[in-house]
Amino acid sequence: MWDAKATLGEGPCWVAREQAIYWVDIKEFLLHRLCTVTDQRRSWHIPEQVTALAPRRNGGFIATLRQGFALLEIPQLEETVHIKLLGVPEKDRPGNRFNDGKVDSKGRFWAGSMDDAESKASGALYRLDGDCKWQKMDDQYIITNGPTFSPDGRTLYHTDTLARTIYAFDLADDGRIGNKRLFFKFDDGSGFPDGMTVDQEGCLWVCHFFGWGITRVSPKGNIVGRIELPVSNVTSCTFAGDKMETLYITTARKGLNAEQLKKQPLAGGLFRFEPKVRGLKPGIFAG
């Protein structure tokens, strides 16, 4: 594992062309890179609060900043991260910031916003197409999290974190969504569902903030597995590797006091786990 002591580790993404995991520390304005072949580690301090990123077909990354969508490049892994803002969808909601995001099999980037004070249902779900035009797809979230997709690409899963609820939507080929429905609701003692990913069997791997681990949920909405971790704030995960056989997991120190941190010295680290099931290859942004 990487004992990075991230305040809010998030957004792990697998870049196959580099054999590397990228992830962010949202609160500390940091971008991290781990080469899974050499274990080489790099970190960049960036001028913007990057909250999620995914590789682009044309090189570099699509990303969400605090205020909106952006293109991100690190030519030859140099010292400077280049950021080009694409647009600000929520100029009328200054208390919001963007949070989690992921690319579907058609190359579209789905990302949600949230109330940074975590109190108002001012967050929304957006779809960014390859032409870099966005649409608001759903609304009324305090904290959006974990967009992810079924293996056949026909179902979008999206999380209302503070409601401890995961919703499922029918996802059409043209990017329209419909038939929003309750997929799974966690009980009060399980923490809060955060980032998630899907394996080749269609099961969701759901991270739990204040929940000490990851729950595996079947496509039928049944709990079929659990990973326990030595830290309470588990934020997101992604499959990686040549065979998509390894799960990389981000965690956070945010919300923990000094006594809790003493008992959780690895909080904020990047963990890896071999779950004996393979994940799906990540989507590549079409722009």
Instruction: List active site positions.
Output: 194
The position carrying tokens 């966690």 is 186
Which contiguous run of DSSP H or E holds residue 259? helix 258-263
The position carrying tokens 């956070």 is 252
